[in-house]
Amino acid sequence: MSPYLEKFMVFLRVEKNASHHTLTSYKTDLNQFIFFLISHFDSKEFSIEQIDRLAIRLWLGELSEQGLTQNSIARKVAALRSFFKYAFRNGWIKKNPAHLLVIPKKTRTLPKTIPAPDLQRMLDSYRNLIDSVGSIQDSVILELFYTSGIRVSELCGLDTQDVEVTKALIKVRGKGNKERIVPISSSVNKLLKNFLNQRSHPAQNIQSISDEIKRTSKVKKKESPLFIAPSGQRMYAKQVYRIVNKAIRQYCEVSQKSPHVLRHSFATHMLDNGADIRLIKEFLGHSSLASTQVYTHTSVERLRTIYEQAHPRAKS
């Protein structure tokens, strides 16, 4: 199975332009399925053609008994369907065991958001040049998440040439490698200018020139990433999560402390202040308006809470 899995992963990466998150998730899911099959067939030596619909059903049943959510099972089903469709198309199997396999309906939960005053305090503290709680890079990362609504993978993929400070725009590569232009506020644009100037003149930074050279030496020669991780490589998702988690933990009490909460907050606060949902869809890079409409439910719930608190007959 492993050679087939490797070929499938190459297909996803090269031909489908799948994101790093998708590649990691699909590989994990399929490796878990292979581990189950070893137990199911009571042998490591089994053929891909031995896998039938019953084996898949048994695995999904086991996952359900383990308490996995419908969303997690739905993703694993999607991974199986995609893999076996590719295997069938390439002639590895004569019959597709995952054909017409039903993807469980995902449970829709309302996005978690952070109150605007808390976000303002957090961002202002990071911008404070005299007594900053983080680096200028941390400040730029936090500002971009909240003021543009970009995804983690999109932020990590930004290069210096993707920033047009003269026009206050950034070019973002989203899911499926689709590009979109996202405007940024004048204040964030000014912060970006300062950040890029510090990158161009490392002697003016807190770190020494030798530290800067050491820090950036692991970046590939042809690359010019906008954000650099402490290891010296292009910024990666895990480090971004650390930066965001640390910041939110200091200033907010929201249970979920991830970059996606800032993306949710961006969309919800825009909608609360009268922005057209179609405009928000373009900002977020959603291919379907249905994906964006979840934020209308958040706003409705907020209105309901305010109504119940403020109206004298709301609870009568």
Active site residues: 151, 175, 260, 263, 286, 295
**Which residues are paired to 163 by β-bridges?**
170
Nearest-angstrom CA–CA distance, 236 and 38: 33
The Cα–Cα gap between 18 and 175 comes to 7
- What is the distance between the alpha carbons of residues 10 and 17, in angstroms, rounded to a whole number? 10
Asked if residue 155 lies in contact with residue 145, where contact means CB atoms within 8 angstroms, the answer is yes
d(CA 165, CA 182): 12
With vertex at residue 19, the alpha carbon angle to CA 53 and CA 122, rounded to the nearest 5 degrees, is 125
Residue with tokens 């922005």, as numbered in its chain: 275
**Among the residues of 114-220, which ranges form H helices?**
116-127, 136-148, 152-156, 186-200, 209-216
DSSP 172: E
CA separation for the pair 172, 6 (Å, rounded): 29
Burial code of 21-57, b = ≥16 C-beta within 10 A, e = fewer? ebeebbbebbeebbebbeebeeeeebebeebeeebbe
